[in-house]
């Protein structure tokens, strides 16, 4: 039984060896077919490319077609038999192998098939023993037949006719016209690249320089190389044709203007074309727009605003500026202010949005810088900021003096500020004769309610109880609401009132007295002259039949002189009244002097006789009407009035002189008493020895000077007394 199976196993092993040789034979035949097909396709595609010079699309088709054909042939004709050799995939069965062997060994075919069939029956038969015996017997007869010799590997030589001719053709082409193979193959392999058919000349451009910053111009220079140079050439850009500028026989140029994207172009002249070039754009950082929020200081009462793409600004001092920039192709945005040497980076909100904030206090200039990775210093733009400062408030005042009291002052004024006022005050300060200042007093006036406020104030200097020699300075002041720099103020010009010292009062009184006496003397003298001229004119008129034009002129002149006389007496009265008013400030005379002063005041008023004025007007009217008789009567009345005035003036002059002597004498006696008290005090200080000797000597010299001045004044009073009609007893 074992022997039977061994014969059958030998038979099956020989069949398997046959099958493997069968696939080796198929692989050899397929390799020859594949080699020939690949070489033929290679030559065919190279020749096609050589003659037709396909574009990138055609060359891609050739390239991938060649790859496809080669892979298909290699896979089906070579790799597939190899896999079947290793029993991978579908292989021929033992029965199919038996048929192939039988075709070669005819006497074996039926026996071999019969053994295989019996073996299949033996596995399912009850009489397996008989079947195995038959199988063994038949296997014994054919096991020595050399199945492998049924396949002749050498017979594949006949297939060399498919491989060798293409190979020989390839070798011939490589030696005879290698460019057909090499150049075409190179172009097919580099099918993404444009190639230009060889021409009498060619265009050359430096590819490394085909870059331009976005929105800039790009000057393109084209050189022409070859045996024949074209007279003209063109460029194709965005499907539009433009003539190139010829710079020399071998060079052309073209200017790309405001390039904003990658631009393809091709050069050509006649039938010669260049490859397609690309002008690459370096994206330029750009500010598409920006918003500026103006956050005004709260105290100015102005609502916040927003400006769009406005770089130059005019804003109030203290305004906070909030920029929001919208950008493109920008990695960094920074700002540099002229007031700050450092460049300040803006904060990136998004890839295309930046923000920056700053409070401005003074005029400034700022520059915005933008950049990206390719253009680190791409661009900048400069703007100006004009700051409107918070101005000082303005204040004006107008002063009015009461017509009846020069120490009663009225003020009206106006104060204003660009953003509003917080306070309005009247300020004054008193400085005594020794220069010692009292604290500054301040009175708040009206409460400001608007940017402009009108105000008024009354100052009664009498209420301030100024002493002789005191100086009053005063002014008005307005305060604004500046929250940035602090509250500012403006003042009116400093105004002042100085109360004269006793010496100044006395000097003024003496000056007025001399002037009054002189005025009365001149008035007395003029009054006498008017009387004389009036008498002469009256006598003249009495001799004439009628009033003549010359007479009218003379009477008019007399009237003018009479008016001037009255005006002079009016001035004298004003000076006398001034003395009386000043006297109230520092001196209280004795009762008898006051009575005489009052009497003099009455006499001044009496001499201002309104009846005289009426009389003069009537005389003038009558003169115009040529009423001679009535005019003479009126002139007589006027003469009588002038005589009365003369007598009154004479009495006034004498009384004034007497009053002057008495008052001055009284004043000097009071000064002597004060001087005596000072002398006693100085003597006491000298005895006590508390003061420096030199200082005591200086004080004594001052007292001696004062005493000397009193002596001189007394001598002067004595002379004035002697001039009186009835001199007084002095002493």
646 Cβ neighbours under 8 A, 6+ residues apart: 524, 527, 528, 531
165 within some domain? yes
| Residue 258 counted as domain residue | yes
Reported for 109-115, long-range contacts at CB under 8 A and 24+ positions apart, including other chains, are 111/138, 111/141, 111/142, 112/11, 112/142, 114/138, 115/8, 115/11, 115/139, 115/142
Please check whether residues 7 and 60 belong to one and the same domain: yes
Q: Is residue 725 part of a domain?
A: no
Domain boundary (498, 522, 541) is at: 498
The HSE-up count of residue 203 (CA atoms within 13 Å, CB side) is 28
- 708 domain residue, yes or no: no
- Judge whether 716 lies within some domain: no
The SS3 assignment for 210 reads coil
Per run of 10 residues, the mean pLDDT along the chain (length 731 residues) is 54 70 80 87 87 85 90 86 79 66 56 55 49 48 54 77 84 84 85 76 80 89 87 91 91 91 90 87 89 92 91 93 92 91 90 93 92 85 93 93 86 92 93 88 87 91 85 93 90 90 72 74 75 70 64 72 77 73 64 65 64 54 50 54 60 65 71 77 73 75 78 73 66 55
Q: 513: domain range? A: 502-659
- Statement to judge: residues 414 and 327 lie in one domain: no
CB distance 576 to 516 below 8 Å: yes
Shared domain for 277 and 299, answered yes or no, is no
Whether residue 42 is contained in a domain is answered as: yes
* 381 and 476 belong to one structural domain: no
In this structure, the answer to whether residues 7 and 43 fall within a common structural domain is yes
Secondary structure percentages of the chain, helix, strand, coil, to 5: 50, 25, 25
**What's residue 543's pLDDT?**
64
pLDDT for 625 = 47
What local confidence, expressed as pLDDT, does residue 387 receive? 93
Number of independent structural domains in the chain:
5
Question: pLDDT at position 200, please?
Answer: 77
Residues 76 and 163 in one domain: yes
- 510 and 624: one domain? yes
Domain termination residue (choose one: 231, 254, 282): 282
Distances (CA, A) of 208 to 191, 211, 279, 282: 22, 8, 10, 13
- Greatest pairwise CA separation for the chain in angstroms: 215
- Domain with residue 204: its CATH number is 2.60.40.10
Whether 493 and 513 map to the same domain: the answer is no
Strands 379-388 and 364-371: antiparallel
- Predicted confidence at residue 592, as pLDDT, reads 62
Domain boundary among 498, 519, 536: 498
pLDDT of residue 219: 92
Q: Are residue 555 and residue 617 in the same domain, yes or no? A: yes
Cα-based distances in Å from 567 to 520, 574, 609: 11, 11, 12
**CA distance to 595, 607, 609, 648, per residue, from 602 (Å):** 11, 9, 12, 11
Question: Is 684 within the bounds of a domain?
Answer: no
pLDDT at 145: 53
| pTM for the full predicted model | 0.52
Both 141 and 216 in one domain: the answer is no
- Whether 726 is in a domain gets the answer no
Asked if residue 214 lies in contact with residue 244, where contact means CB atoms within 8 angstroms, the answer is: no
Backbone angles phi, psi at 49, to 5 degrees: -65, -35
| 259 and 294 share one domain | no
Residues 126 and 255 in one domain: no
Q: What is the CATH number of the domain that holds 488?
A: 2.60.40
């Amino acid at each position: 039984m074992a022997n039977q199976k061994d014969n059958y196993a030998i038979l099956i092993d020989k069949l398997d060896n046959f099958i493997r040789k069968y696939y080796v034979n198929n692989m050899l035949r397929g390799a020859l077919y594949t080699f020939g097909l690949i070489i033929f396709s290679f030559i065919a595609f190279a020749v096609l490319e050589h003659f037709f010079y396909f574009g990138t699309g055609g060359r891609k088709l050739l390239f991938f077609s060649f790859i496809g054909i080669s892979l298909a042939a290699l896979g089906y004709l070579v790799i597939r038999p190899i896999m079947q050799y290793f029993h991978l995939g579908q292989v021929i069965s033992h029965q199919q192998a038996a048929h192939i062997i039988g075709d070669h060994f005819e006497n074996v075919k039926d026996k071999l098939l019969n053994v295989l069939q019996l073996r299949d029956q033996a596995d399912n038969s009850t009489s397996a023993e008989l079947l195995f015996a038959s199988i063994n017997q038949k296997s014994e007869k054919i096991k020595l037949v050399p199945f492998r010799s049924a396949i002749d590997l050498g017979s594949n030589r006949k297939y060399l006719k498919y491989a060798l001719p293409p190979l020989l053709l390839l070798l011939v082409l490589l030696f005879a016209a290698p460019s057909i193979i090499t150049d075409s193959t190179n172009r097919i392999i580099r099918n993404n690249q444009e190639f230009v058919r060889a021409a009498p000349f060619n265009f050359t451009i430096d590819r490394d320089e085909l870059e331009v910053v976005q929105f800039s111009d790009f000057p393109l220079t084209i050189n022409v190389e070859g045996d024949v140079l074209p007279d003209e050439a063109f460029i194709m850009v965005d499907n539009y044709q433009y003539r190139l500028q010829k710079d020399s026989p071998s060079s052309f140029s073209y200017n790309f203007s405001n390039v904003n994207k990658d631009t393809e172009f091709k050069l050509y002249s006649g039938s010669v074309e260049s490859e397609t070039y690309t002008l690459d754009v370096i994206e330029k950082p750009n500010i598409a727009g920006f918003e500026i929020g103006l956050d005004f200081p709260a105290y100015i009462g102005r609502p916040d605003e927003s400006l769009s793409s406005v770089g130059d600004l005019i804003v109030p001092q203290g305004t906070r500026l909030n920029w929001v920039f919208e950008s493109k192709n920008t990695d960094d945005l920074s700002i540099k202010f002229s007031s700050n040497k450092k460049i300040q980076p803006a904060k990136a909100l998004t890839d295309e949005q930046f923000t920056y904030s700053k409070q401005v206090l003074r005029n400034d200039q700022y520059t915005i810088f933008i950049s990206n990775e390719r253009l680190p210093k791409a661009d900048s733009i400069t703007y100006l900021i004009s700051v409107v400062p918070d101005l000082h408030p303005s204040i004006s005042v107008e002063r009015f003096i009461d017509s009846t009291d020069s120490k009663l002052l009225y003020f009206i004024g106006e104060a204003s500020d660009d953003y509003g006022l917080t306070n309005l005050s009247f300020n004054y300060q008193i400085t005594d004769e020794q220069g010692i200042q009292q604290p500054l007093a301040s009175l708040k006036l009206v409460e400001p309610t608007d940017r402009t406020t009108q105000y008024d104030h009354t100052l009664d200097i009498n209420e301030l109880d100024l002493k002789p020699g005191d100086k009053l300075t005063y002014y008005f002041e307005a305060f604004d609401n500046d929250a940035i720099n602090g509250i500012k103020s403006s003042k009116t010009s400093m105004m002042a009132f100085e109360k004269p010292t006793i010496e100044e009062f006395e000097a003024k009184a003496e000056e007025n007295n001399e002037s009054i006496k002189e005025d009365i003397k001149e008035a007395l003298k003029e009054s006498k002259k008017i009387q004389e001229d009036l008498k002469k004119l009256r006598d003249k008129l009495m001799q004439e039949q009628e009033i003549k034009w010359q007479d009218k002129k003379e009477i008019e002149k007399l009237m003018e002189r009479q008016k001037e006389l009255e005006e002079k007496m009016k001035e004298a009265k004003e000076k006398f009244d001034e003395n009386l008013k000043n006297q109230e400030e520092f001196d209280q005379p004795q009762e008898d002097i006051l009575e005489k002063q009052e009497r003099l005041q009455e006499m001044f008023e009496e001499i201002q006789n309104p009846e005289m004025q009426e009389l003069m007007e009537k005389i003038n009217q009558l003169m115009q009407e040529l009423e001679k008789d009535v005019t003479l009567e009126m002139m007589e009345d006027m003469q009588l009035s002038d005589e009365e005035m003369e007598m009154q003036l004479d009495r006034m002059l004498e009384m004034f002189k007497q009053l002057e002597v008495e008052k001055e004498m009284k004043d000097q006696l009071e000064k002597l008493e004060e001087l005596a008290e000072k002398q006693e005090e100085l003597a006491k200080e000298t005895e006590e020895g508390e003061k420096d000797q030199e200082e005591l000597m200086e004080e004594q010299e001052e007292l001696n000077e004062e005493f000397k001045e009193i002596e001189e004044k007394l001598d002067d009073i004595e002379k004035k007394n002697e001039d009186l009609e009835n001199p007084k007893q002095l002493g």
